[in-house]
Amino acid sequence: MNIDQLSTPTLILDKARLSRNIEAMTARVRDLGVELRPHLKTSKSADVARLAVAGNAGGITVATLSEAEYFFDNGFKDMTYAACIVPSKLERVAALVERGADLKLITDNADVARAIQAFTDAQGTTLKVLVEIDCGEHRTGVLPEGPELLEIAAILDGARSVSLEGVLTHAGHSYACRTPEAMADVAEDERAAVVQAADRLRDTGYPCPTVSAGSTPCVVHARDASGLTEVRPGVYMFGDMFHVGLGTRRVDEIAVSVLASVIAHRKDDNQLYIDAGGLALSKDRATAAFEGALDCGFGLVCDAHTAEPINDLHIESVHQEHGLVVSSDPLPFDRLPIGAKVRVFPNHVCMTAAAYDAYQVVDSDDDGGGTGIIDTWGRCNGW
Amino acid sequence: MNIDQLSTPTLILDKARLSRNIEAMTARVRDLGVELRPHLKTSKSADVARLAVAGNAGGITVATLSEAEYFFDNGFKDMTYAACIVPSKLERVAALVERGADLKLITDNADVARAIQAFTDAQGTTLKVLVEIDCGEHRTGVLPEGPELLEIAAILDGARSVSLEGVLTHAGHSYACRTPEAMADVAEDERAAVVQAADRLRDTGYPCPTVSAGSTPCVVHARDASGLTEVRPGVYMFGDMFHVGLGTRRVDEIAVSVLASVIAHRKDDNQLYIDAGGLALSKDRATAAFEGALDCGFGLVCDAHTAEPINDLHIESVHQEHGLVVSSDPLPFDRLPIGAKVRVFPNHVCMTAAAYDAYQVVDSDDDGGGTGIIDTWGRCNGW
C-alpha cells in the first residue's frame, strides 16, 4: 500500500521523524540527569509508547482513565494519571490497580484527599497519590508555600491505604513564551516551585520520592533539573506548527500530518478546497498567536510525497469537511488538480490526531521516499 | 443507569428535545411543500436518522463515504453524498452502489465529470450525479448562469452509465446572517440560484428531477420553496449555542450536551475547572461572532439534572482535558463541589459530538426528570 492509494482524509505518521524526535528527547533528559516519563496524551498509541520508553525507565504519563486502561491492556504498568482525580472515578482506578497497574493519581484538594482516604479505607486497595503544585500557570495545583500542601499531605500520609508519592507540576504557561530565554525562565520557576514543595514535605517528615515536572518547551530549554526526579513532556514526539512557531520544532521535524485530496478549484478567487476540514484538522487556531508566515491558519499545506511546504499554501478557513487553501502567490492549480493529494501539518497535533482511530505509518528514511505504508498503529480515543 | 453514575466526560442526548426538533422541522418542510432529506453529518447516528426520516420520504444526506457506508449497513438506501466527489473515491462509491445503495454524488468540475464517465464506462456501474451550484457562499459549485453548468451536464448526460439527477446547492453563508430577514433573503437567493440552474438544464433538454437546497437557517426562515424538490437541513435536530445566537434555537431546545465533572476549585480567582476540555468540547469558537451573553466561550454550563443554565457560567478557555468555568457573579462553589456534574451546551454540536462514539440517551419528558439513561445510540466517526 502506497500513500497515493489511501482514502482521504487520513492521518500519516513518519516513523523516521518520530524516532529522531524521541531519541533527541531521551538524550536531552539523560543530560538533565532525570527520568523521562513521556506523556502519551498526544499519541494515545501503544506502538508510539514503546518507542518513547525505549532506553528510559518505562513509566508513562496519561491524561484520561481510558488511556490508562488502554496502555495497561497493552503491557504498560507504571503510569501517572496527570489530571485531578475526582472521587467518582476511584472505582475505575481501583479496578485497574487490582489488575496490577502501578497507577499514580494527583490531587490538589483536601476534600478529595479525604474521599480517597474513605474510599481506600472501605475498599482496601492501596492507591498512590501525588500532590499537584501550581508553579505559576494558575490552572490546577496548590501553591508550594501555602497551607493546603501540608494539609493534603497529612491526610494522604495518614491514610491506612494511601501511599503519598510526592509532588507534580506542569508549567503550561511555557506555551505563552516566545523566546528560549523566556521558556528557560519558566522552566526554572517550575523546577523551583515543585522542589520547594518537595522540600517542605520532607522537612515536615513526609515521604516525597517523586518530584515531577515537565512540558516540551520547559524540558527543551531548562538550564537545570536539580531536585527533580522526572519530566513528562509529550508533544515533542510529533511536533506541530505551534511548536514551529515557538521554535521548539522545525517543519521538517513534524512527524504527523493529515493526508487530504484536492476536491475543488476556484481559480478566479485563487482558492482551492481539500477534503480535510474542521473535523479532520480540528478547529484549533493556536498559530494565530504568531505573526506573519508562522500563522498558518488551520494548517500548512505540503507535498504529499516529500512533505515539503508548497510555497506558502495554508488552510485559511474550514467547514466540517472542507478546508480552504490559499496562498499569497498564484496557486499551482496544474500541480494540484482535483484529486491530487497533499499533506497538512496541523496547528496542534493533540487535537488533530484525536479525530482518527489509527496512524498510517510511513518511513521517510526509506529509499522509496517514504510514501509506502509500512504499518498501521492504533490509537485510543474517548474517555 | 442514572446520569449521576456515568463516567465523564460523556455525550448526552435528550430524546424528548430531539423528537420535538424533528417533528417541528418535518412539519415546517411539509408546509413548504418539498421533501425533507435530513443531513446526518451532525448526528452520524442510525438511531437519530430513523427518527429524522419518519413521516418523510426516507432519503438522507451524508458528508462522508464513511457515513454512507454506515447508514447503508443500517438499512438506509437513498442517500446524497453532499461533498464534491474526487475520482479516487469512485471505487468505494461503486462498491456501495453495487451492494444496493441509491447513492447520489455531486460535482462542480468538468474534469471530474469526465473521470466519472471514464470510470463508469470501464466499470459498468451506473452512478447518479448532481451538479453543485454556487448560490453565493463561494465555496464550491458552479454559477447558475455560467458556462460550466451546461458543460458538466453535457458530459454527465452523454455518459452511457451516468444518470444526471439534477442540481444541488448549500447556502452556508446563511450562518453569517444575524436576523431572520437576512436569513430569509439568503434562502431566497439560494432558491433562485438553484431553480435558475434547473431551468437552464431543462431548457437545454437535460433531465433535472432533483432541485436540492438547504441549511437549517434557510429552511427555518425561507419565504418560499417554489421550484425546489427537497431541502437538506441537519443541525436542527440537535441545536447548539451558535444556533441560539442566530435565534434559530432556544437554549431549552438544545438536545445534545456534554456531561462533565468539576475537578478543581480556584476560589481566590472565582474559577473552577471541569474535566471537559478541548477534546471533549472541541476548539470551535463559533459564538465569538456574537456580543455579550450570546458569546459563551467554549460552552454554556448548565445543571446536570435540569439542563438549565446556572447563572451565566460558561467555559472561558480549554486545555486538552480541562475546561475553565467562569462567571460574572461569584461562582456557586457549594452547589458545585469537586465531583459535581454539570451539562455543557456546546458552541457547534457537529464538532463536539465527533469526539464521542455514542450518545447516552435521556428523556426529559420522563417523570423522573430525564436523568435516567434509557438507551445508548452509536455514532459513525472518521472517513
Q: Could you tell me the residue range of the domain that residue B141 belongs to?
A: 15-238
Collect all residues of chain A within an 8 Å Cβ-Cβ radius of residue B84. 263-264, 273, 275, 338
Distance CA A302, CA B7 (A): 40
Q: How far is CA B87 from CA A8, A243, A341, B112, B152, in A?
A: 12, 35, 12, 7, 15
Joined grid coordinates for residue B167: 442540481
Q: Domain for residue A227, yes or no?
A: yes
Look at chain A and report how many structural domains it folds into: 2
Q: Domain for residue B383, yes or no?
A: no
Asked if A331 contacts A324 with a C-beta cutoff of 8 angstroms, the reply is no
Q: Domain for residue B49, yes or no?
A: yes
Nearest CA in chain A to B269: A138
Q: Mutating which of A3, A10, A44, A88 best tests the B interface, going by the most B Cβ atoms within 10 A?
A: A88
CATH, residue B299: 2.40.37.20
Contact status of B198 with chain A (Cβ, < 8 Å): no
Q: What mean pLDDT do residues B73-87 have?
A: 98
Q: Domain for residue B103, yes or no?
A: yes
Contact status of A356 with chain B (Cβ, < 8 Å): yes
- 245-264 in B: which are within 8 Å (CB) of A? 261-264
Q: What mean pLDDT do residues A296-324 have?
A: 97
Q: Are B202 and B311 part of one and the same domain?
A: no
Asked if A278 contacts B283 with a C-beta cutoff of 8 angstroms, the reply is no
Contact B382 A172 (CB under 8 A): no
Mean pLDDT (chain B) is: 96
B53-71 tens-digit pLDDT: 999 999 999 999 999 999 9
Collect all residues of chain B within an 8 Å Cβ-Cβ radius of residue A109. 264-265, 338
Residue B283 Cα, gap to closest chain A Cα (Å)? 5
Which residues, other chains included, contact A150 with Cβ-Cβ below 8 Å and sequence gap of 6+? A200, A201, A204
Contact A273 B89 (CB under 8 A): no
Contact A109 B319 (CB under 8 A): no
B251-268 tens-digit pLDDT: 999 999 999 999 999 999
Handedness of CA A248, A254, A255, A258 (dihedral sign): positive
Q: Are A136 and A228 part of one and the same domain?
A: yes
Query: Residue A37, SS3?
Result: coil
pLDDT at residue B353 is higher than 80: yes
In SS3 terms, chain B reads as CEHHHCCCCEEEEEHHHHHHHHHHHHHHHHHHCCEECCECCCCCCHHHHHHHHCCCCCCEEECCHHHHHHHHHCCCCEEEECCCCCHHHHHHHHHHHHCCCEEEEEECCHHHHHHHHHHHHHHCCCEEEEEEECCCCCCCCECCCCHHHHHHHHHHHHCCCEEEEEEEECCHHHHHCCCHHHHHHHHHHHHHHHHHHHHHHHHCCCCCCEEEECCHHHHHHCCCCCCCCEECCCHHHCCCHHHHHHCCCCHHHCCEEEEEEEEEEEHHHCEEEECCCHHHHCCCCHHHHCCHHHCCECCEEEECCCCCEEEEEEEEEECCCCEEEECCCCCCCCCCCCCCEEEEECCCHHHHHCCCCEEEEECCCCCCCCCECCEEEECCCCC
Q: What mean pLDDT do residues B300-304 have?
A: 97
Query: Residue A1, SS3?
Result: coil
Contact A115 B65 (CB under 8 A): no
Q: Name the domain boundary from B222, B238, B254.
A: B238
Residue type, position B47, single letter: D
Q: Domain for residue A134, yes or no?
A: yes
Q: What mean pLDDT do residues A250-276 have?
A: 97
- Supply the pLDDT for residue B214: 86
Which residues, other chains included, contact A71 with Cβ-Cβ below 8 Å and sequence gap of 6+? A40, A46, A49, A60, A62, A79, A380
Joined grid coordinates for residue B104: 447520489
Residue type, position A120, single letter: T
Collect all residues of chain B within an 8 Å Cβ-Cβ radius of residue A348. 283
Asked if B257 contacts B12 with a C-beta cutoff of 8 angstroms, the reply is yes
A95-109 tens-digit pLDDT: 999 999 999 999 999
Q: Mutating which of B88, B175, B281 best tests the A interface, going by the most A Cβ atoms within 10 A?
A: B88
CATH, residue B42: 3.20.20.10
Q: Are B254 and B199 part of one and the same domain?
A: no
Mean pLDDT (chain A) is: 96
Residue B75 Cα, gap to closest chain A Cα (Å)? 24
Q: Domain for residue B327, yes or no?
A: yes
- 304-333 in B: which are within 8 Å (CB) of A? 319-322, 324
Partner residue facing B273 (CB), from A140, A280, A322: A140
pLDDT at residue B237 is higher than 90: yes
Collect all residues of chain B within an 8 Å Cβ-Cβ radius of residue A119. none
- 119-138 in B: which are within 8 Å (CB) of A? 138
Collect all residues of chain A within an 8 Å Cβ-Cβ radius of residue B61. none
| Beta-carbon pairs below 8 A across chains A and B | 156
Q: Are B152 and B263 part of one and the same domain?
A: no
The interface predicted TM-score (ipTM) is 0.96
A80-95 tens-digit pLDDT: 999 999 999 999 999 9
Nearest CA in chain A to B82: A321
Q: Mutating which of A139, A269, A334, A348 best tests the B interface, going by the most B Cβ atoms within 10 A?
A: A139
Contact A83 B354 (CB under 8 A): no
- Of A115, A143, A119, the residue nearest A131 (C-alpha): A143
Asked if A63 contacts A89 with a C-beta cutoff of 8 angstroms, the reply is no
Contact B284 A273 (CB under 8 A): no
Contact B383 A280 (CB under 8 A): yes
Q: Name the domain boundary from B199, B221, B238.
A: B238
Collect all residues of chain A within an 8 Å Cβ-Cβ radius of residue B338. 84, 86-87, 109, 111-112
Backbone angles phi, psi at B190, to 5 degrees: -60, -50
B156-209 tens-digit pLDDT: 999 999 999 999 999 999 999 999 999 999 999 999 999 999 999 999 999 999
Radius of gyration of chain A, Cα coordinates, nearest whole angstrom: 22
Q: Are A120 and A249 part of one and the same domain?
A: no
Joined grid coordinates for residue B312: 451565566
A123-162 tens-digit pLDDT: 999 999 999 999 999 999 999 999 999 999 999 999 999 9
Collect all residues of chain A within an 8 Å Cβ-Cβ radius of residue B348. 283
Contact status of A266 with chain B (Cβ, < 8 Å): yes
Nearest CA in chain B to A41: B320
Residue type, position B326, single letter: V
Give all strands of the β-sheet with B127-133 in edge-to-edge order: B35-36, B230-231, B210-213, B162-169, B127-133, B102-107, B78-81, B60-62
CA contacts within 13 A on the Cβ side of A205: 3
Asked if A261 contacts B88 with a C-beta cutoff of 8 angstroms, the reply is yes
Q: Are B88 and B174 part of one and the same domain?
A: yes
**pLDDT band at A370; cut points 50, 70, 90:** confident
In the block, cell 501553591 appears at A143
- 150-179 in A: which are within 8 Å (CB) of B? 172
Contact B338 A112 (CB under 8 A): yes
Distance CA B42, CA B351 (A): 8
Q: Are A303 and A325 part of one and the same domain?
A: yes
pLDDT at residue A368 is higher than 90: no
- Supply the pLDDT for residue B368: 72
- Of B237, B229, B181, B247, the residue nearest B32 (C-alpha): B229
Contact status of A16 with chain B (Cβ, < 8 Å): no
Q: Are B308 and B292 part of one and the same domain?
A: yes
Contact status of A84 with chain B (Cβ, < 8 Å): yes
Collect all residues of chain A within an 8 Å Cβ-Cβ radius of residue B261. 86, 88-89
Q: Are B164 and B272 part of one and the same domain?
A: no
Q: Domain for residue A383, yes or no?
A: no
Q: Mutating which of A119, A240, A263, A287 best tests the B interface, going by the most B Cβ atoms within 10 A?
A: A263
pLDDT at residue B369 is higher than 80: no
Contact status of B64 with chain A (Cβ, < 8 Å): yes
- Supply the pLDDT for residue A214: 86
> Can you give the length of chain A in residues?
383
Partner residue facing B172 (CB), from A10, A319, A338: A319
- Of B306, B190, B304, B178, the residue nearest B242 (C-alpha): B178
CA contacts within 13 A on the Cβ side of A17: 23
Contact status of B214 with chain A (Cβ, < 8 Å): no
Contact status of A89 with chain B (Cβ, < 8 Å): yes
CA A199, distance to chain mean position in Å, is: 29
The enclosing H or E element of A73 equals helix A65-73
Collect all residues of chain A within an 8 Å Cβ-Cβ radius of residue B324. 139
Q: Name the domain boundary from A198, A214, A237.
A: A237
Contact B320 A283 (CB under 8 A): no
Q: Are A140 and A152 part of one and the same domain?
A: yes
Q: Are A231 and A256 part of one and the same domain?
A: no
Q: Are A321 and A282 part of one and the same domain?
A: yes
Nearest CA in chain A to B341: A88
Q: How would you label B90-106 residue by residue, b for 16+ Cβ within 10 Å and e otherwise? A: beebbebbeeebebbbb
